[in-house]
A and B are shown apart, each in its own frame.
Chain A
């Protein structure tokens, strides 16, 4: 009988039921879409490391490494002197040119570990002298191909001996040793990564202490593959932003549960008077809200998948998108909807049943968390996780201030002046902390996230644009075919239309065991100024990118030995978007002479008053070269920048939408179950236009309260993103610009979301649980 009454209630209040379903489904949609986008990007980034190397957690390097070094290490390990190591293998890894193709040759002990997992066999007859290649090399080489492996373009995997033959190396030469180090937290991190793809990058990498012989250099996977690490860091930013979206979605789901209970409570109260036990009533309540949550989870999974496809299509246009609705995302979606609903509902039921005594424990806990968060902000070793922990704690603290703020503002409510109807609207926003504080916390968080990210992106764009202004001092850049570039670089006089020609040579190099890019060019005052260094670079001077300086833990004035040459660090420069740490030296330095054999011409830059004519002349003379005008590079760079961050805009929009729905549900419930005087005003002759004005005033009031909290919170988010998260994630600093436009834009969207929630009229005609005729 009671169940029937509840089901009838659901059916007789279709608008509210639909809004609860849609609201919850939107929350799940945001959770699913963020998960799928992050998982897809994570999978692409994992693809940057060949499968054969993915199992290693660290690598050991040393100068002129050979098998004797490896065997000595192995002996030490077998004797039990290196207990942290659970597995080790010799590896060859070098890029060479094979049959005109640039090929990365990987050599591993395939006798001990054949590349069976994930490899597709294609050879009719297996050959130890053959290789496994990625799809791009399948028909490009004459050596026997045993199978296709999942690896970056241009990768070849072979047995060590075959790799030696292909590279022309002496038989005992090795690149490095792959290690698997035991990590007590590896399992937990792996599970966290499954639940929150990209989150693993936030955990500080373990720095195991190994009792190694002198000369060995221990390098983590992150340091070995900075490109992947760079991507993972971006992913972590998106994941963390998604975490805030998740938090807002949870608040919405909780809000729906609370609103649902408030609508049903008068019925329960009277049924209890009639002798129905609270436990039974709670079971019916949880059943009804659980039913809606399950339906919303199913709906959210479908719409989330669709949204993720659309987002990825926008972020990586033209690429194939395969999104997998695996058990983890289903668990996360259903778990979020049902668990938050049931737990939140049960808690709300408990609170309604009995007066919950006000305890100072939450405030003390929040204070302690704030102290911990402050410590994390100023301790770089806490890594990205420390930065985001600070953001999470600030969010928690801010959401706890909503109810006391509303109570305080209510005391000042009689001071509000202006039209009486506007007073009613604005005061209504302050009058009901119990109903509105959860929804307002969600809205504040969404606006604060929008402000924080907008400040970070705007500040980043300003710095990026300034960097482009510095770097793009040339009118034309030639890249591409190395042979043509080399030829061209040697006949400078050909380019008579150019006022200045700058040739850039580069090579990959290991410095203190770390892989870096070394650029060599004529570093006169003009060229040096591109890197923020005002003088000619001395022959023993070297410029470091922020990433390189951070990796090497060096600063200006320190000495650095590169390829046996002792250099002095003259300056540092920003290198947003560089995949590798970068070093720059003068072409007259002894280091340039020492590395002359391995340097390759990477690009040539021109300064000219007539760049278009120069382009036409060069195209004719060197058709194989890629020629790009400075204006085009700038435009493409900024377009790529905006495209990268477009995904964050969409995520923020979803968070704002979810928050607006949450506020709408709270306002509707408040009006249905509270005596707000709306019916009375109708009796007094207040017309529809005036009611709309009151609703706008209510929305504005809600928006203002949310903005009061969100504005300082958002600025703090922005500061943490610029000064804590980005330096830790990418190794670069961004100067926080308190852009009025960014603040205004975010607040305007937040205010519009609140006003929309206030003026939505649907459902107002429905009766509350005890609506009278």
Chain B
């Protein structure tokens, strides 16, 4: 049975202006992701993977098309949302994991994970932060600052923080790009399994075919083709 889509992306486009030259980064891209499903985005550098994630996070404005995200009691439309509502969306309904610099260096591990709960005044979730970190094997690092953690540990903390609010959408931009094979597998497993268990839609940009292969659906963005014939291929594994 086909599950209803949580994230709907319809004919979106985004360009950058470089002086008088317009660079189309994303053009007429459409896809959808159901709740609990995962989508991996692959493609060479400059193909627009990070731009797509930044659009989904509301950090960038759309130039064309629309995206909608199904929330508990309403559907959020990116096209009509102003900067303030996009910030609120990010704060309450989206988790984000970067490749680097995922943690606020001046907050401890526990504070970093609790931060979304604090920002949303959901104190009851704060207790859950320590449990989550325990599940991720970090119970002895709760009060350490990020600079003392290894790369793999930092990414696990970042995943824990992104999951704390159980957001409908989790975005991950090269989450394993900076890790060795063992840590990479560990973090990827955590991400995919947690999202699946908690019914969270996951959009993950990666260069790793192995990690991309773990997703339910794959989207390949390509810049090698001329702009007018360029396509964004979507395929299921």
Contacts A414-B145, A419-B118, A680-B98; is A685 near B91 (CB within 8 Å)?
A: yes
| Complex Cα gap A93–B143 (Å) | 82
Indicate whether B119 reaches chain A with its CB closer than 8 angstroms: yes
| Complex Cα gap A420–B161 (Å) | 14
Within B111-153, which residues are at the interface with A (CB < 8 Å)? 111, 114-116, 118-119, 143, 145
Indicate whether A553 reaches chain B with its CB closer than 8 angstroms: no
Task: Please indicate the chain B residues that have their CB under 8 angstroms from the CB of A428 in the complex.
Answer: 106
The 8 A CB mask of B183-220 against A (1 = contact, 0 = none) is: 00000000000000000000000000000000000000
Task: Please indicate the chain B residues that have their CB under 8 angstroms from the CB of A419 in the complex.
Answer: 118
The answer on a CB contact under 8 Å between B96 and A683 is yes
Task: Please indicate the chain B residues that have their CB under 8 angstroms from the CB of A676 in the complex.
Answer: 105-106
Quick one: which of B50, B94, B104, B116 contacts A424, CB cutoff 8 A?
Answer: B104
The answer on a CB contact under 8 Å between B59 and A682 is yes
The 8 A CB mask of A667-683 against B (1 = contact, 0 = none) is: 00000000111011111
Quick one: which of B84, B100, B101, B115 contacts A687, CB cutoff 8 A?
Answer: B84
CB distance from B121 to the nearest CB of A (A): 11
Most buried by A among B59, B90, B102: B90
CB distance from A456 to the nearest CB of B (A): 39
Indicate whether B57 reaches chain A with its CB closer than 8 angstroms: yes
The answer on a CB contact under 8 Å between A684 and B91 is yes
The answer on a CB contact under 8 Å between A420 and B115 is yes
Q: At the interface, is chain A mostly helix, strand, loop or mixed?
A: helix
Indicate whether A427 reaches chain B with its CB closer than 8 angstroms: yes
Indicate whether A423 reaches chain B with its CB closer than 8 angstroms: yes
Please give me the residue from chain B that is nearest to A431 by CB atom. B106
Quick one: which of A423, A424, A431, A687 contacts B87, CB cutoff 8 A?
Answer: A687
Contacts A420-B115, A685-B119; is A680 near B101 (CB within 8 Å)?
A: yes
Indicate whether B227 reaches chain A with its CB closer than 8 angstroms: no
The total of chain A residues at the interface (CB under 8 A) is 23
Indicate whether B81 reaches chain A with its CB closer than 8 angstroms: no
The answer on a CB contact under 8 Å between A677 and B103 is yes
Quick one: which of A423, A684, A690, A773 contacts B116, CB cutoff 8 A?
Answer: A684
Task: Please indicate the chain A residues that have their CB under 8 angstroms from the CB of B59 in the complex.
Answer: 682-683
The answer on a CB contact under 8 Å between B108 and A414 is yes
Please give me the residue from chain B that is nearest to A425 by CB atom. B106
Q: How many A-B Cβ pairs are below 8 Å? A: 69
Task: Please indicate the chain A residues that have their CB under 8 angstroms from the CB of B87 in the complex.
Answer: 685-687
The answer on a CB contact under 8 Å between B90 and A680 is no
Task: Please indicate the chain A residues that have their CB under 8 angstroms from the CB of B115 in the complex.
Answer: 420, 684
CB distance from B115 to the nearest CB of A (A): 5
The answer on a CB contact under 8 Å between B104 and A414 is no
| Complex Cα gap A687–B162 (Å) | 18
The 8 A CB mask of A21-61 against B (1 = contact, 0 = none) is: 00000000000000000000000000000000000000000
Indicate whether A413 reaches chain B with its CB closer than 8 angstroms: yes
CB distance from A705 to the nearest CB of B (A): 15
Within B31-89, which residues are at the interface with A (CB < 8 Å)? 50, 57, 59, 84, 87-89
The answer on a CB contact under 8 Å between B111 and A423 is yes
| Complex Cα gap A214–B96 (Å) | 95
Within A342-392, which residues are at the interface with B (CB < 8 Å)? none
Please give me the residue from chain B that is nearest to A413 by CB atom. B106
Task: Please indicate the chain B residues that have their CB under 8 angstroms from the CB of A413 in the complex.
Answer: 106
The answer on a CB contact under 8 Å between B119 and A424 is no
Task: Please indicate the chain B residues that have their CB under 8 angstroms from the CB of A773 in the complex.
Answer: 50
The answer on a CB contact under 8 Å between A677 and B119 is no
The answer on a CB contact under 8 Å between A424 and B106 is yes
CB distance from B16 to the nearest CB of A (A): 8
| Complex Cα gap A442–B118 (Å) | 36
CB distance from B78 to the nearest CB of A (A): 15
The answer on a CB contact under 8 Å between B119 and A684 is yes
The answer on a CB contact under 8 Å between B90 and A420 is no
Indicate whether B92 reaches chain A with its CB closer than 8 angstroms: yes
The answer on a CB contact under 8 Å between A686 and B103 is no
The answer on a CB contact under 8 Å between A424 and B107 is yes
The answer on a CB contact under 8 Å between B106 and A677 is yes
| Complex Cα gap A690–B57 (Å) | 19
Task: Please indicate the chain B residues that have their CB under 8 angstroms from the CB of A431 in the complex.
Answer: 105-106
Please give me the residue from chain B that is nearest to A429 by CB atom. B106
| Complex Cα gap A57–B57 (Å) | 80
Contacts A419-B118, A420-B115, A675-B101; is A684 near B108 (CB within 8 Å)?
A: no
Please give me the residue from chain B that is nearest to A430 by CB atom. B106
CB distance from B111 to the nearest CB of A (A): 6
Most buried by A among B102, B104, B118: B104
Within B150-178, which residues are at the interface with A (CB < 8 Å)? none
| Complex Cα gap A428–B115 (Å) | 16
The answer on a CB contact under 8 Å between A420 and B111 is yes
CB distance from A679 to the nearest CB of B (A): 8
Can you report 12 A-B residue pairs in the complex whose CB atoms are below 8 A from each other?
A420-B114, A420-B118, A431-B106, A675-B100, A676-B105, A680-B103, A683-B57, A684-B115, A684-B119, A685-B91, A686-B119, A687-B87
Shortest 4 CB-CB distances between A and B: which pairs?
A685-B91, A677-B104, A427-B106, A685-B90
